[in-house]
Amino acid sequence: MADLVDADGKLLLPSDRTRIAETVAAWVERYVPAAWIEAAPHGRAAIREVRSRAAYEAWYPVFGRSGLVAATWEPEYGGLGLSRAEARSADAVLRPYNLGRLNPLGLGNAAPALFAHGTDAQKLRFLPPIVRNEEFWCQLFSEPGAGSDLASLATRAERDAGGDWLVTGQKVWTTWGFRADFGVLLARTDPDRPKRRGLTYFLLDLRQPGVEVRPLRTMTGEAEFCEVFLERAFVPDAHRVGAVGDGWKVAAATLSGERQMVSGAGSGGVDRIGGSGIAHLLALARRISAEGRPGGWDEPSVRQELMRLYSEERIRAWTNDRVRAGLQAGRPPGPESSIGKVHQGELNQRMQALAAELLGAYGQAWDAAAEADYEDTLPHEVKGMLRSRANTVEGGTSEVNRTILGERVLGLPREPDPWLDSAWRDVPRS
């Protein structure tokens, strides 16, 4: 296999497609640093010891150019055009090396909307840089007065003399907004129409005058969320996705992708929802017992709770596999992703609460230098427990997602809305 990649670094697929796994394994051997490969059999913790975040980000362009980041996407969009089965075969080879996908909000939130509603020009312009992590993305939906009732948002987009758009308003809880180059933006373009029919979906360049990003620090000490202020920020009409007034329909693809991304095991999402999975809890419980401390694996009640959580996490992974299979078959994520969102939000909170409980007194006080940053000294399990409190709110509250499931999956009558057909400007708002 002398020629594994083309001149642009993209993996050359074998003529015999049954040899996909063999080809990917050869790519790993040649392009993944040797120290990472040597650490892989010992687990993710061992990989993290030899691979810093900065080192991974510096190497990531090699991965991004290969096409393996989004292998089922067509080559012109940065993928390899693999079938679902072929992509599973490739992923099985990559999995031991913990090659996480960077730019998760680009891959999980912007891309579904572009695939479902974007023009060919938009897909060719934005998807390849998303795959290569050359342009980092965020989501500009929620506002101080429009969280669970997102359709009531007040950020305005108005046409200028040339037919382009000027956006004014405020967004909040924007994850990684301080890092982002672009954001998917939902704005009101017609206040005289009902709230869901007067919205339009845009792709906003955040590196321009008229955009101010302010980080929001949370109780974990992190500042991953932001508030974003827009004052006549410019958006060319070519960066409008879907028809004017169809933003709610376009946003559905992004929202479903977001719910899938934070749906837990097997979701292919990010690890920012708080804490570690059940494997970490099992290892922690065994270590506590091995050290002779109470409340570990040797106690039947602890084992019972761990097995309950283990079973739920496996069910979560299988359900996510079904959703992911639909995505790989070219179908946008639908209301079924709300099942994963509701289940995982509450499951992760219980899992991280147990992790902190297993620590006992060690989870209530710990040694730290007086000058050390709070975020850096916080035990991993305590940080995960604190971060997980947002799980039932972010990505759509559990209450909203249960309503979606009732109406769109179970077919129950829609929740009454006396203002459903009223113009947005006439609807009472807080």
pLDDT tens profile 340-371: 788 888 999 999 999 999 998 888 877 665 55
Evaluate whether 251 touches 141 at the Cβ level (below 8 Å): yes
% of the chain beyond a pLDDT of 90: 64
Q: Is position 258 annotated as part of the catalytic site?
A: yes
Residue 109 DSSP class:
I
Q: CA-CA distance, 406 to 283, in Å (whole number)?
A: 38
CB 132 within 8 A of CB 79: no
d(CA 186, CA 193): 15
φ/ψ of residue 182, rounded to 5: -135, 155
- The single residue listed with the structure tokens 């429009």 is 146
Tokens at residue 25, please? 């394994």
Give the span between the Cα atoms of 62 and 10, in whole angstroms. Answer: 9
Output the CA–CA distances (angstroms, integers) from residue 91 to 83, 148, 155, 328, in the order listed: 12, 35, 41, 13
The string of pLDDT tens digits covering residues 183-240 is: 999 999 999 999 999 999 999 999 999 999 999 988 877 888 899 999 999 999 999 9
Whether pTM exceeds 0.85: no
What pLDDT shows up at residue 219? 82
User: How far apart, in whole angstroms, are the C-alpha atoms of residue 70 and residue 59?
Assistant: 17
Element (H, E) at 156: strand 156-159
Tens-digit pLDDT profile for residues 275-292: 788 989 999 999 999 999
Neighbours of 134 (CB within 10 A): 13
Q: Are 63 and 103 in contact (CB under 8 A)?
A: no
Q: Which of 135, 258, 305, 313 is catalytic?
A: 258
Average pLDDT over residues 100-112: 94
The per-residue pLDDT for 329 is 63
The torsion angles phi and psi of 306, rounded to 5 degrees, stand at -60, -40
Which residue in 277, 204, 259, 212 sits closest to 391, CA to CA? 259
**Three-state DSSP state, 270:** coil
362: which residues sit within 8 A by CB, 6+ positions away? Answer: 379
The average pLDDT across 112-123 equals 96
Q: Mean pLDDT, the chain, as a whole number?
A: 89
Tell me the C-alpha distance between 148 and 403, whole Å: 11
Question: What are the helix (H) ranges across 209-368?
Answer: 247-261, 278-290, 300-328, 336-359
Please report the beta strands in 23-153, taking only residues with DSSP state E, as ranges in sequence order: 137-140
Those residues with Cβ within 8 angstroms of residue 327's Cβ, 6 or more apart along the chain or in another chain = 112, 260, 333
> What is the DSSP code (8-state) at residue 16?
S
